[in-house]
Structures are given as C-alpha cells and as structure tokens.
C-alpha cells in the first residue's frame, strides 16, 4: 500500500475509537511532558547556574598579582632561577601586554576603597567599587532597578539595595538624586619633594636602580576629597564580577571614574614601599577570557610573563560533570512515565486487533499482504506517538511556565530576583517528539506483528 493511503487508513482507524485512542495518546503526551519537564528543569538549572557563575566571573577570569609579595620583599632578584621569569611590576605596560593576549576580553584593576557617603546631610560608611564597562553586557547587573552607567566616565553611582535602604526607607526614590562621596586621594610624593631620609633609604636599598621594581617608592600623601555622584540604579544582588570580585562594595561607580579618583586603597601601604613614583602599579588585575575553556592558556601565558595567576578552572569541570549526572537522573525519572505510556500503546493496539480481527480478515481477502497489515498498525502507533509527542512537548512547556511562574512568585515574596529555572531548547523539543515516535513504534511492533500473522480464514469467521 502507498504511504499516503496507509496514513489515511491509519488516521481513519484511530478516529473510529477516538476516546480510547485519545486516552492512549494522552498517556504518551503525559509521558513526554514528564520527560520534557524533567529535562527542561535540568537544562534550565544548568543554564541558570552557568549564567550566574559566568556573571560572577569566577570561571572566566584570572586574578593576576605580582609574584613579589610583602613576604619576599627585600630578597634579591638574583635568586630567581633561569626557568622562572624575572619579576615584573604589575603596571600599565603589563596590563596592555595582557590585553594583547589571545582570547582576552578585558583586563581591569580591582579598585575598592572605603568612603564616607553624605546624603541628606547624614554620613554613611561604606565601600566603593569600580565597575568595568563589560559588566553592562555580561549580566552582572541583570535586574538592576533604574539604569546602568550612561558612559564609562559618567559621574554616576549604582547602589546595593542594603546600602540604599540605609540611605532611604524608599530606595527607589533615590534614583536621580545626588550624593557626595568623601574619600582619601593618594598623591605621590616626587623625588624632589621627598625628604633626605627617604632619599637615603633608596640609595641603601638599591643604589642606582630607582626605576626598577625593587626601587623603593617615593611614598604618597593622603588628601581628603569629595565627589558628587548621581544615583542611576539600585541592584538587589551583589554583583561579583571576577575572581576576587568587587568584594564588599556597596556603592558602584564606573571603573574609569574610580581610577581617576586615585583613592587610597587598602593595599597602598604595601605598594608605597616598592613602587617607583613615576610608574603607578596595581595590586592586582583581573583578566577576563572570552570563554572559560580559554582560561588555562591565558593563565599559563600570564605566568610566563612573570606574574602570579589564579583561576578556578577545575571547578567548572566538576560542575559540568554534576549537571550531566543530574540531567541523566532527571531523564530517567521522566522516562518512567513514558515507559508506562508505552504499555498503554501496546494495550490499545492489542485491543484493536481483537476488535478489528474481522476487518483484518477482510483486508487480507481483498489483497492486503501481511506487510500491509503490519504497516497499518505500525503507522497507527506512530500517529499516536507523533500526536502524543507534540502534545507532550506543549504540556511540558506549560508545566515549565507554571513552575517558573510559581518559583518567581516564591522568590518575589522573599525579595529575591526572578530566575528562569526552566529551559526548553529546540534539541529537546525535536528529540522528545522523535523519542515519542520511536517508543510508540517499538510499542506497536508486537501488536503489528500479531495482526499481520492473523489467519484470514479465522479472522473472517470472527464475530
């Protein structure tokens, strides 16, 4: 029989026992919906975790510090072996060199300093953190109330919600208002303005090497300053972009603005004793890779440049393994419902053979080959599987929407930002439908074979 005729006859047969076949199809749909819902939950949670982790910058960043720390200060660089690259200052030259490494998206310093904020005439103690421009697009500030900074050098601030609540009982009213940030500006002391003692100290430490890494700096003075900033946004969660992150920052300003403030930071005391005055250096730099997979190569390249580099690469491998196993388990639980639905298909088709015994006999008497009868039952199973698959994917998607809605309602009541815990990717939609058809065909194999083997004479005698 031709495929079109086979399809028409199969659909006609299914329509005849519409209630039973609909219930069987619904069984398949529930099975597929269960599978889709489970896997969508797995995929959604994986994506959520990946997105959050990617936004956190923990797995696509490398924290770079100078290999020289406060403990080995004063040791001679001559002790370095031939295999170990020479010590270098973590300065702008190094930063630009790192920016040129393959797959490096950006390199930025971590600027974080204590400050006193004055708002409505009251002082508030907090910590300011500089935010790189990339934070706008990478989701770190996803869900920000208000807006992100209008530009990299805008005198604007985004407040962490807890700090915003300290400033006002109605945090949302703060947007558009101005506040004053009081901080300590670091002013380098030039060689000419230095004291005789400091000049002596330099000569004692490294004679004739004032521009080297081991030269003592000229030090700096601290001058109180103020900066007026306009509040443009309020963020519920703490954006922690980068390994080492923005730490305990409660007031976020553009990195460029933060850098221009030259505010004294916690590490400045250490830097003051080892950095030359004419070349400012950084206590640490965050290097962001395009993808977590590229972190290893970047980390290695930075180490070869003579810096200490750290990343959390291994943790991502463990995470992937965890979600693979998690998805597998969810798939197995979801598949159980489909297994039950398979039994439903077998039952329906076996019943159909009993009911349509005489019809099978008539078909054979009219010239249907065993193969035709087999194909007819096979197609009927396939049609039920196809409809069940389509319906199941739709139901699974609806379940996902309902669960997402419920989850977000729950999160909202707990003052937490919304989350997409469900994700139904295309591969899952197509895979689930294909799986439903394959399972239905497998379920139809036994009844179809049994129908094909019916003796036409016996079948025609059946009342």
Partner 1 sequence: MATENGFAVRAEGVSRHYQMGSTLIRAVENVTLGARAGEFLALLGSSGSGKSTLLNLMAGLDRPTSGTIIAQGCNLSDMNSIELARYRSRTVGMVFQSFNLLPRMTLEENVELPLRLAEVDRPERAKRVHEALEHVGLEKRLAHRPSELSGGEQQRAALARALVNRPIILFADEPTGNLDTATGESIMQLLREIQKTLAMTIVMVTHERPLAERFARRIATLADGRLVSDGANS
Residue nearer to partner 1 on the CB measure, 327 or 370:
370
Residue nearer to partner 1 on the CB measure, 78 or 366:
366
User: How many other C-beta atoms can be found within 10 angstroms of the C-beta atom of residue 348?
Assistant: 23
Chain residues 146-205 in contact with partner 1, contact rule CB under 8 A = none
91: DSSP letter: B
Q: How far is the CB of 1 from partner 1 (least distance, A)?
A: 6
Give the one residue of 104, 364, 392, 423 binding partner 1; rule: CB under 8 A. Answer: 364
Q: Which residue has the tokens 């601290």?
A: 222
Note whether 3 binds partner 1 by CB under 8 A: no
Note whether 2 binds partner 1 by CB under 8 A: yes
Beta-sheet pairing, 104-109 with 145-146: unpaired
Note whether 362 binds partner 1 by CB under 8 A: yes
Q: Which stretch binds partner 1 (CB under 8 A): 132-140, 162-170, 230-238, 360-368?
A: 360-368
Give the one residue of 122, 196, 366, 426 binding partner 1; rule: CB under 8 A. Answer: 366
Q: How far is the CB of 395 from partner 1 (least distance, A)?
A: 30
Q: For residue 432, what are its two tokens?
A: 């689930």
Q: How far is the CB of 360 from partner 1 (least distance, A)?
A: 11
Q: How far is the CB of 19 from partner 1 (least distance, A)?
A: 15
Q: Which stretch binds partner 1 (CB under 8 A): 75-83, 115-123, 408-416, 451-459?
A: 451-459
Task: Annotate each residue in 21-60 with x if it binds partner 1 (CB under 8 A) or - if it does not, as one string.
Answer: ----------------------------------------
Give the one residue of 203, 371, 405, 434 binding partner 1; rule: CB under 8 A. Answer: 371
Of the candidates 436, 450, 461, the one whose C-alpha atom is nearest the C-alpha of residue 28 is: 436
User: How many other C-beta atoms can be found within 10 angstroms of the C-beta atom of residue 127?
Assistant: 17
Note whether 91 binds partner 1 by CB under 8 A: no
| Radius of gyration of the chain measured on its C-alpha atoms | 34
Note whether 296 binds partner 1 by CB under 8 A: no
Note whether 16 binds partner 1 by CB under 8 A: yes
The whole-angstrom separation of Cα 286 and Cα 264 is 19
Q: How far is the CB of 448 from partner 1 (least distance, A)?
A: 15
Note whether 359 binds partner 1 by CB under 8 A: yes
Beta bridge partners of 61: 288
Q: Which stretch binds partner 1 (CB under 8 A): 103-111, 261-269, 368-376, 417-425?
A: 368-376
Beta-sheet pairing, 145-146 with 156-160: unpaired
Give the one residue of 75, 203, 291, 358 binding partner 1; rule: CB under 8 A. Answer: 358
Note whether 370 binds partner 1 by CB under 8 A: yes
Q: For residue 374, what are its two tokens?
A: 């087999």
Total residues contacting partner 1 (rule CB under 8 A)?
Answer: 24
SS3 sequence of 283-332: CEEEEEECCHHHHHHHHHHHHHCCEEEECCHHHHHHHHHHHHHHHHHHHH
Q: For residue 417, what are its two tokens?
A: 């930002």
Note whether 456 binds partner 1 by CB under 8 A: yes
C-alpha 115, offset from chain centre: 32
Q: What is the largest CA-CA distance in the chain?
A: 122
Task: Annotate each residue in 211-250 with x if it binds partner 1 (CB under 8 A) or - if it does not, as one string.
Answer: ----------------------------------------
Q: Which stretch binds partner 1 (CB under 8 A): 55-63, 198-206, 290-298, 453-461?
A: 453-461
User: How many other C-beta atoms can be found within 10 angstroms of the C-beta atom of residue 297?
Assistant: 13
Give the one residue of 169, 224, 367, 414 binding partner 1; rule: CB under 8 A. Answer: 367
Note whether 11 binds partner 1 by CB under 8 A: no
Residues forming the site for partner 1 (CB under 8 A): 1-2, 5, 9, 12, 16, 358-359, 361-372, 455-457, 460
């Amino acid at each position: 029989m031709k495929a079109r005729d086979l399809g028409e006859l199969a659909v006609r047969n299914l329509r005849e026992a519409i209630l039973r076949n609909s219930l069987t199809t619904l069984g398949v749909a529930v099975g597929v919906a269960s599978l889709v819902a489970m896997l969508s939950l797995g995929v959604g949670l994986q994506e959520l975790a990946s997105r959050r982790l990617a936004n956190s910058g923990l797995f696509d960043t490398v924290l770079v510090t100078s290999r020289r720390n406060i403990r080995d200060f004063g040791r001679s660089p001559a002790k370095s072996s031939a295999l170990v690259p020479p010590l270098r200052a973590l300065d702008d030259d190094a930063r630009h060199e790192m920016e040129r490494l393959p797959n490096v998206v950006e390199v930025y310093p971590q600027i974080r300093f204590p400050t006193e904020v004055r708002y409505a005439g009251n002082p508030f103690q907090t910590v300011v953190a500089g935010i790189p421009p990339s934070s706008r697009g990478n989701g770190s500030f996803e869900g920000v109330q208000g807006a992100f900074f209008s530009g990299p050098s805008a005198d604007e601030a985004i407040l962490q919600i807890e700090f915003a609540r300290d400033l006002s009982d109605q945090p949302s009213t703060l947007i558009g208002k101005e506040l004053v940030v009081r901080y300590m500006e670091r002013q380098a002391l030039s060689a000419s303005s230095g004291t005789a003692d400091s000049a002596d100290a330099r000569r004692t430490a490294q004679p004739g090497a004032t521009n080297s890494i081991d030269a003592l700096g000229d030090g700096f003075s601290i001058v109180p300053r103020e900066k007026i900033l306009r509040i443009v946004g309020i963020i519920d969660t703490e954006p922690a972009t980068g390994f080492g992150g923005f730490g305990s920052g409660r007031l976020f300003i553009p990195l460029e603005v933060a850098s221009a403030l030259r505010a004294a930071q916690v590490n400045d005391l250490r830097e003051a004793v080892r950095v030359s005055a004419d070349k400012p250096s950084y206590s640490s730099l965050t290097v962001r890779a395009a993808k977590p997979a590229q972190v290893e190569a970047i980390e290695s390249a930075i180490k070869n440049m003579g810096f200490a580099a750290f990343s959390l690469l291994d943790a991502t491998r463990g995470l992937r393994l965890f979600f693979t196993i998690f998805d597998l388990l969810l798939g197995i639980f979801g598949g159980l419902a489909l297994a039950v639905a398979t039994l439903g298909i077998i039952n329906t088709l076996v019943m159909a053979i009993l009911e349509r015994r005489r019809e099978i006999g008539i078909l054979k008497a009219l010239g249907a080959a065993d193969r035709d009868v087999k194909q007819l039952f096979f197609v009927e199973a396939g049609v039920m599987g196809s409809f069940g698959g389509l319906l199941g994917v739709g139901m699974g998607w609806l379940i996902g929407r309902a669960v997402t809605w419920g989850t977000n309602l729950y999160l909202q009541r707990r003052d937490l930002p919304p989350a997409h815990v469900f994700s139904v990717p295309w591969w899952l939609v197509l895979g689930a439908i294909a799986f439903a058809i394959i399972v239905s065909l497998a379920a139809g194999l036994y009844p179809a074979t049994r129908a094909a083997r019916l003796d036409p004479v016996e079948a025609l005698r059946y009342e």
